[in-house]
Structure 1
């Protein structure tokens, strides 16, 4: 229990007293640590903040386990610094326990304090080293706690995002996740319970792995400075100057300037080759299965030693139909385009996915962006491209109004991309459904006779009630098409809300007539029965 003397004071005042005289007020650390066990959330939060400030101060002062050779190991100052080290370790253990506190606010503050103390210790290490040294052991414990088997820590994983932008933190987090995966796999393999992996563990793990974005060699992604060598706070700079002379007397002078860190890609790649195959061996819920399909093409496939080993996974997913097939598209295309996978039915499967339901799925934007990418190949026969154009045109008669600008612009891009398809615009021999040779029920896009048809469906949209749709469909009246394609990025996510906002911004002339008889008031129309029935 806190003494009566310190119990009446706030943690903020106790921290000020400690910084004023850390030798005389050393027991303040114990008093603040006791408050961590309080049942009051506010008291716990203030105690975490106070201990964070206390040990940040001690690290900046280099007072933790610092040995003064001139005084001997048994001197009072050396013993005190050793005791500071013991209190520091106890505080870190207490913070780790708070990661499982019932209140999420306490969990988040404890994790934030752990990460900031890790950074501070890296900038001002307890044991001085001339080479680059990252507190990897401490980080490994933090990651193991965050990727919990029993607690949902997804909100804590989100807090790591800022730090994962730093090269060294990203790399050592990769190593820590590798250790977690190996340990978990060994434990469950011995007991043959891999299929009983808790969903909580997978939710935490996959969310963290989704944030481990390792740039491939030659990437143009800007490099962020390492975590440990960001600009120190002004207080740290003052303390460094204050103790510069003392450090030169007590320690060996470091040479070579400030060390730098460059992410070792071979080691990072090896870590990814351990993590991702392990994830695919775990049982995945439908939601996690979809997230893995989304993450694999960008986060894993550029770094895997044997990407073709994913062929079975992607092909099974591609054949499932629905949203799963949409998400497997990119992975299958990468295997075909970059790894020479022979899959002649790819465009046949893609053609089959163009159904009215595609406009109502969650991943609609992703599907159309990928579809635009797949149909950009210059080796694609024009009669295949014509089938996709005609299929999209037929879908425009059934699609929601908010999706029509996207469909029309997509069709226009394909016409520009494949100049031979311009004959579909001006084919006057096919003007309606009755004489259309196109066979919408044919599953093979090579046999639909779409190149003999026309775009009468798009011409029909010229009379659509929404001005944005009717204007977009006007290109069928023009003799020449635009020379450049339209960026679909602004249209793929467009919904009714965006259309409504755009319509509200349109300026119209005042005095537009909405009736041929000017009303004299509410319900007061000449020769009308409303005035005889209603009275106001």
Structure 2
């Protein structure tokens, strides 16, 4: 007799779950199937069955009663609970399957079980109002954050669940617990690579922000703060516990040697998500200072951490702006972290306590860089200069300095490492004047600020930090030109045809 299909077995179970309960056993046997299609079909069917049983309260831990006193229903529920726990173990094993589609489905099924079980608790702990199945999440995290197998592809799929504050909070607690228990265990590169994607997804709000941020919960995604009194949605992050967990995790992480990639990610993640929660952020001073002194991309990434220590924790670093000035080299326009650098530079030069002669050096350095900067970065740099001139009105003298008309009579010393001694205040912005004749209309238009009154408000440089050549080309193509503009002395006979056909779409032979 031909075996029933998964669909037929599922239909039988839904018709009569008591009479056809053995369908679960049949489907669980199919979890051993080598064919991916059969395996995924069995997982989906079992997911539907166990979710139905959870919702109908058929999966529960029974009170301790001697077997001889148990009713048929009690025995059925004990058996179903045993199968449910066995199903979890099988799904955890399937996280090691060769096919990524099977791994992902197994993890999503475990998460679905977790969500449904939280709403329909299998095990109720006395004194708990919010029944998040932490023990289920703990076993999942232990399987994902392993020391031997790279689980990053799976872990990245958890990002959509981290938007739920309960899921994020309990994940943080579990990771902290894991790191404390494994303190003496050598952290392998695989372990660290598995751990970091999770840490990057955790963003605990400050204690005073709880009343203003909407609260999304894993056990009830529709729950908002107006329903916070509802026992189903009655979850609040324990900030003290979250803060302690973050301190435990990060103080341990920095004790271990990090790969270059993880080192760079630490420099980004700690200032943005961690420092505001640390008991004593000054403990990270050596980490950021050593990084800032390394030069290159590492210095660039350490900028934010060093600035926070100076600005908020009274760290004395007299050479901060000198080193920042040194980072303004032509290669900054080709760095991977260029957008981040200019946004931070804008923040660092926004303080009214910085002397004008120091800012003059940055203005002049930026103006000199426009002579060698790639075309997509020119508008960004020019608008940055305008912003600095607006913040420090005394620097407007750089716009019109009749004694300096070009490089020959420019007192500014571009090779001087100390911005204070560079004589920038005695110079002028002749570099910007030269850009008024730039081939790109967008650049020449912005450079025209030196012949007009400065704008009333600062430019938003955020929309220019990632401009590409393609965007410059598309913008230029939209500019209307007058007919009859000569482009060559001799009528061409043919034209280059490029693969992307962008040139042909903008020009035509007549």
Q: CA contact under 8 A between 1:67 and 1:73: conserved in structure 2?
A: no
Counterpart Cα distance in 1 of 2:176 and 2:472: 47
Report the equivalent of 1:11. Answer: 6
Q: CA contact under 8 A between 1:66 and 1:78: conserved in structure 2?
A: no
Q: 1:22 to 1:446 in 2, by over 3 A?
A: same
Q: 1:56 to 1:510 in 2, by over 3 A?
A: farther
Residue 198 of structure 1 and its aligned partner are, at CA, apart by 2.3
Residue 10 of structure 1 and its aligned partner are, at CA, apart by 2.2
Q: Give matches, 1:72-87, under 5 Å.
A: 73-87=69-83
Residue 506 (str. 1) matches residue 482 (str. 2): no
Q: CA contact under 8 A between 2:32 and 2:39: conserved in structure 1?
A: yes
Report the equivalent of 1:397. Answer: 371
Q: 1:396 to 1:383 in 2, by over 3 A?
A: same
* Residue aligned with 1:218, SS: helix
Match of 2:337 among 363, 377, 381: 363
Give deviations 1:247-277, integer Å, cap 9, x for gaps. Answer: xxxxxxxx98545001111110000001111
Give deviations 1:388-408, integer Å, cap 9, x for gaps. Answer: 000011111111111111111
Residue 94 (str. 1) matches residue 90 (str. 2): yes
Q: CA contact under 8 A between 2:129 and 2:231: conserved in structure 1?
A: no
Counterpart Cα distance in 2 of 1:198 and 1:179: 18
Residue 198 (str. 1) matches residue 188 (str. 2): yes
Residue 13 of structure 1 and its aligned partner are, at CA, apart by 2.2
Match of 1:376 among 350, 367, 375: 350
Residue 451 (str. 1) matches residue 425 (str. 2): yes
Residue 334 (str. 1) matches residue 329 (str. 2): no
Give deviations 1:208-258, integer Å, cap 9, x for gaps. Answer: 1000100112237623332113359xxxxxxxxxxxxxxxxxxxxxx9854
Report the equivalent of 1:138. Answer: 136
Residue 126 (str. 1) matches residue 122 (str. 2): yes
* Residue aligned with 2:86, SS: helix
Residue 47 (str. 1) matches residue 55 (str. 2): no
User: Any unmatched runs of 5+ in structure 2?
Assistant: 224-228, 496-510
Q: Give matches, 1:14-413, under 5 Å.
A: 14-65=9-60, 73-128=69-124, 131-186=129-184, 188=185, 194=186, 197-219=187-209, 222-231=213-222, 258=232, 260-413=234-387
Per the normalisation by structure 2, the TM-score is 0.91
Counterpart Cα distance in 1 of 2:344 and 2:105: 41
Give deviations 1:2-41, integer Å, cap 9, x for gaps. Answer: xx56xx3222221121121111111111111111111111
Q: 1:522 to 1:319 in 2, by over 3 A?
A: closer
Counterpart Cα distance in 1 of 2:455 and 2:267: 36
Q: Give matches, 1:487-498, under 5 Å.
A: 487-498=460-471
Q: 1:377 to 1:42 in 2, by over 3 A?
A: same
* Residue aligned with 1:161, SS: helix
Counterpart Cα distance in 2 of 1:84 and 1:510: 81
Q: CA contact under 8 A between 2:130 and 2:231: conserved in structure 1?
A: no
Q: 1:299 to 1:12 in 2, by over 3 A?
A: same
* Residue aligned with 1:320, SS: coil
Give deviations 1:467-497, integer Å, cap 9, x for gaps. Answer: 111111111122x211110000011011112
Give deviations 1:151-184, integer Å, cap 9, x for gaps. Answer: 2111211221121111111111011111221233
Report the equivalent of 1:248. Answer: none
Report the equivalent of 1:484. Answer: 457
Counterpart Cα distance in 1 of 2:222 and 2:71: 35
Q: CA contact under 8 A between 1:19 and 1:57: conserved in structure 2?
A: no
Counterpart Cα distance in 2 of 1:39 and 1:505: 57
Q: 1:46 to 1:522 in 2, by over 3 A?
A: closer
Q: Give matches, 1:420-439, under 5 Å.
A: 420-439=394-413
Q: 1:62 to 1:72 in 2, by over 3 A?
A: farther
* Residue aligned with 2:213, SS: coil
* Residue aligned with 2:263, SS: helix
Q: CA contact under 8 A between 2:310 and 2:317: conserved in structure 1?
A: yes
Q: 1:391 to 1:231 in 2, by over 3 A?
A: closer
* Residue aligned with 1:164, SS: coil
Deviation beyond 3 Å, 4+ runs, structure 1: 65-69, 127-130, 255-259, 507-519
